[in-house]
Structures are given as C-alpha cells and as structure tokens.
Amino acid sequence: MYFVNRRAFLASTSAAMALSVLSTSAEAANESDAAKAETTKLNTWLEERFRFWTNRSPTTKAYLGVKEDMDKWDDISEARQKEDFELTQKDLADMKAAFDPAKLSADGRLSFRLFEYKTARDIEGYRWRNHDYPVNQMFGWQSEIPSFLINIHRVSNLNEAEAYIARLNGVNGLMAQVIDGLKTREALGVMPPKFVFEHVIRDSKNVITGKPFSGDKDGTLMEDFRSKVTALKIDETAKAKLLNNAEKALKSSVKPAFEKLIALLEDQNKRAKTDDGVWKLPDGEAYYRFRLRHHTTTDMTAQQIHEFGLAEVERIHAGMRDIMTKVKFKGDLQAFFKFMKEDPQFYYPQTPEGKAAYVAKANQIINDMKAKLNDVFITKPKAELFVKEVEPFREQSAGMAFYQGPGAFDGRPGTYYINTFDMKAASKYEMEALAYHEGIPGHHMQIAISQELQDVPSFRKFSNDYTAYVEGWGLYCERLPKEMGFYKDPYSDFGRLSMELWRACRLVVDTGIHAPQYKWTREQAIKYLFDNTPGSETDVVNSIERYIVMPGQATAYKIGMEKIIDLREAAKKKLGPKFDLRQYHDVVLRSGALPLTVLEEQVDAWVKSKA
C-alpha cells in the first residue's frame, strides 16, 4: 500500500518539460512547429500552477524534499478548503480558455486531458470534503504529526533544527483546525464507527508519553529530536539550547494539543455507533459511488465489483489447491489455511532477533530482484530503497506493510515499512510477494521512475492519486516475478496467491460493508475474510477496520492489476513476435500515473505504432 500526502495536488519547482516518450517517432516528426510551440506554452502554464499549489502546502514541499517553509504546517481550515476549491475551478476554466487541445502535440493533448480529469475530479470531490474520517487508525494528523517530523523533517543544520521546534510550537494551532473539522463533521452526521476511537485515543496518548511529559525515558518526538541534534556539528551550548527549547515546545504546544484532541475523541466516543458502512452517512450511497469512481477510475458498480470479487476468490482457491497437491498436504483448504497460520516454520519469533531477521530477509529479496531487473525493464529508478520497521508509537494501528516515496530534491530514499508488532501477522511465505509489491519492482520503481522523468510536466511526475494504477501496478508486480522464475519455494508461491486472494476478497468485503444493498457489519466482513484467507486474526481485523475507514480504496488493487494484465495480453496477441515486455513496461511507467482508461489509450497507441 502506498500512502500519499493528503494533498493530491503535488507539484515541483522544476522548469517546463519536453515531449513525452509516448508520442511515437512518426507522430513527433509529423507534428507542426506550431503544435510543439503551443505545447511548450501549456507546459509552462502547468509548471507555474504547480509552483503556485506547492507554495500553498509546506508539507508538500517537505515530502518533495524542497527545503522551504520548514517551520510551518498546512492550513487545513474550512476557509482554506473553500479558497482551494475556487482556485481549482479557476485553473480549469483558465486552461480551457487559453488552450485548444486540437492545436497541441500528442503529448500536450495528454497533459491537457490529465489536468482536466484531475481538476474536474477535485471539483466534484469538494462536495464530499466532510464525509471522510480525518482522524482514524490508518492516517490523520494525530499520527502524521509525529511521523512527518520523524521521517520527513530532516535536520542537517541549526536553522532546520530551529524550524523543527517552530513546527512543534505550531502543533497547537494545527490541532485546533483538526478539532474544528471533527466537530463540523459530527454536526453533519459524519463520525467513524465506535471501534476507531480506541485506536486513535491510544495512539494519541502514545505521542505524549515519556520525557518531557512523564518518566525518565524520552518520548517519541523528544527521542527523534535529540538524535538529530546530537548528530549536528555545532557546539554543545547550542545543542543544549535547542533541546531545552524543544522540551518547552513539547510541553506548551504538543501536549495541550493532543490533550484537547483526546478529550474530544473521548467525548465523541460516548455518541459513536457501531454501524460500519458509509451507507449510514448523509447521501452515503452517492458518496460511495464517488469513492469507487475515484479509486478505480472506472464506472464499475458496487454489484459488479462484488461479483467479480466472488468469482476471483473461487479461481484463486483452485490455484491454492494445486499447491496443496504439490506439497502433499492431506486435508481441505481450510485445514491448509490453519496449517499455514499455526505452524512455527512459517514465522520468525516475536523477539528483537526475529524482527531483525525479517528485515534482513526482506532486503535480500529486494537485492535478488534488483539483479534481474534488466531482463524485464528498460528504465530503472535512481532513488535508493530503505527497509524500515514501523515506529512503536503507531505499530499497533498501522497496516502490515506500506511504502513512502523518496524525496525528489533532497535525496531521501524511498521507504518500505514493515510492521513487526505481531510477527504472527508477518509470515515468511508472504515475504516475497510483499517485498515485490511495496519495493521492487512495485511501488518504489513506479513512483521513483515517475519522479525522475525528464520529459513530462511536473503534475504528472508527482501525482500518484490514481489508486487503480498505483496499486494495480503493485499487485501486478507480485505476479511478474513468478514469470521471471522467482517463488521457487511452493509455500512462497502460495504466499503470492494468498496476497492476490486478499485483494480479491477486498472486492467482496469493501462493497459488502459500504454498499447499501449489502450493509455488512464489521463482524460479517471479518468472518468472510477469516474463512476465505490464511490471514492471522490480527491481520484480518486490522484489514477490515482499514477498509471501513477508507471506503473504496481497497477495490482498486485487483481492478488495476487486471487491466494491466489484459492490456499486456492483448498487445502480445496483436504484435506477436514484435511484442517486447521491456517496452511494454516502459509504456506503462513513463507517463506517470494514469486513469485506467487513459492507460489503455496509451498502450493502444504504442501497439498501433509497432504493428
């Protein structure tokens, strides 16, 4: 799973880019100088708009590695959201007034269409801005504040250390806006289910535990700041002053901010209900339709997705039974699931040594794949990939694994996070598939390559909010290594199937929970996932709770994967011996993230150019 910054409108400070690689050489040769000139104007306009939007978001700058406004947080007030909405409307109107797609080059038309698609979707989404749960166990400012400061705010000099302290002092104001948003949602009838509150209250309390709040051991943020300051090459007096000021900021800003949040959450918990699906919200059915369109970039209905999921579950179960035969297991599929969940050979011990061994093995899997990339890829990422355990303050709530992209301008590596809180949820047999999905050739390759492109406008380089494309690629990259000769251990191949099965089950449970024709409870969804997968109890419960607070997101993986595979197989059939898998992957990767409909058009154009 790839977590993007809250602001989908990412931007960079780079200059206007040249034409995309997806224009064929014949098209490029036939394009007039006027079309090329007009596209250059469009690209210049797009870059200006993205500089504008980046400057409105200090956290976006930080995620990109741009070291500006390092002492500030984003403005997330209702007034700012309204202003952003009006500016987005103006951007779309201005582009349509200034540029005629018919006068652009092929790549200019693609950029025009993508910007139009994205802004139109953002405009539609404004109606639903208060239908989400901005504080939940998966994401939200209560976890983003410490995670951002620890992982994104780098400290390489005195000024950056002082900016860290300034951000600590700004937490109280930021949290006031978070609390206003929560109150607004409750007044509209939008509150998360009751189970969410226990998680977020616990995680919030974890942030203000330890020094300087209590005890003798540094708390999460103090420990991070102390380690960063200790590494600085400045005199000890300056270090002591920084640490003292950080302690003051933690006590005067961070502590009261989180205490106010905790107080509100505890109060709301008294009124929280156990209904889980978004069908319960005002206009919940329409909201869920929007979420499905947003994440899948298709018009598939909830019923179509649900039925597709049921069919895929049956197909994958059949593949698992084939593996049972290979390993000579005696018993039915449920017995095999039980065996895989309970036999200690499939798990590292719940010890520091066991956790370290898992991380070391994950690194080995990634390095083995790196050695084979030239066989199936032309373009490889320059950014490094780092494997890291999820931090203790959020490990009880976080998912099993996720990826955070690299900094485009500060050299920060991409990060593959592994949750080692419950090693029974971190099976050895799923390690290969998980590393391929989150790391290489999955999210890290796709996102790093996109950021490193030199031939597309910046909004295409940094916008990864087309979930079906991003997560579909990740899931496709679980299957691709099988074709490359990996998964030699049949149990690892079972792990690959179990991961795909998980995504197929998601189609069933996500729609089951949120679509009004099903109205599944949390318990029904947990039972379905537990009965149909080899997932541990921890993983099953955490996953269902994730799908509840992120409606529609989980449906995108399988739908995106199927489209990438279908397009590849159709291209192979049409091109025969002219088909080149390495070129196909370049077509998929070298335009940045795309809606599935646009991806299909790009692949069709490539096939036509080679036929």
Phi, psi (deg, nearest 5) at residue 462: -110, 0
d(CA 59, CA 72): 8
Is the Cβ–Cβ distance between 416 and 401 less than 8 Å? yes
pLDDT at 580 > cutoff 50? yes
- pLDDT at res. 16: 27
Whether the per-residue pLDDT at 600 is higher than 70: the answer is: yes
Q: What is the pTM of this model?
A: 0.87
pLDDT tens track for 267-302 = 999 999 999 999 999 999 999 999 999 999 999 999
* 14: pLDDT strictly greater than 60: no
Task: Place 329 in a pLDDT band, splitting at 50, 70 and 90.
Answer: very high
Question: What pLDDT is recorded for position 30?
Answer: 62
Q: Is the pLDDT of residue 25 over 80?
A: no
| Tens-digit pLDDT profile for residues 350-376 | 999 999 999 999 999 999 999 999 999
Task: Say which amino acid occupies 9.
Answer: F
> Percent of the chain at pLDDT above 70?
95
Q: How far apart are CA 360 and CA 143, in angstroms?
A: 27
Residue 425's pLDDT is 83
Q: Which amino acid is at 43?
A: N
The kind and range of the H/E element at 531 are helix 522-532
Average the pLDDT over 9-20 and give the result. 29
What are the boundaries of each domain within the chain? Answer: 571-610
pLDDT in tens, 126-159: 999 999 999 999 999 999 999 999 999 999 999 9
Mean pLDDT, residues 316-340 taken together: 96
The string of DSSP codes covering 474-518 is HHHHHHHHHHTT---SHHHHHHHHHHHHHHHHHHHHHHHHHSTTT
CB atoms within 10 A of CB 216: 6
The strand pair at 414-418 and 385-389 is best described as parallel
- Convert the pLDDT of each residue in 405-463 to its tens digit: 898 778 889 999 999 998 888 899 999 999 999 999 999 999 999 999 987 899 999 88
Poorest-pLDDT segment among 2-11, 314-323, 353-362, 404-413: 2-11
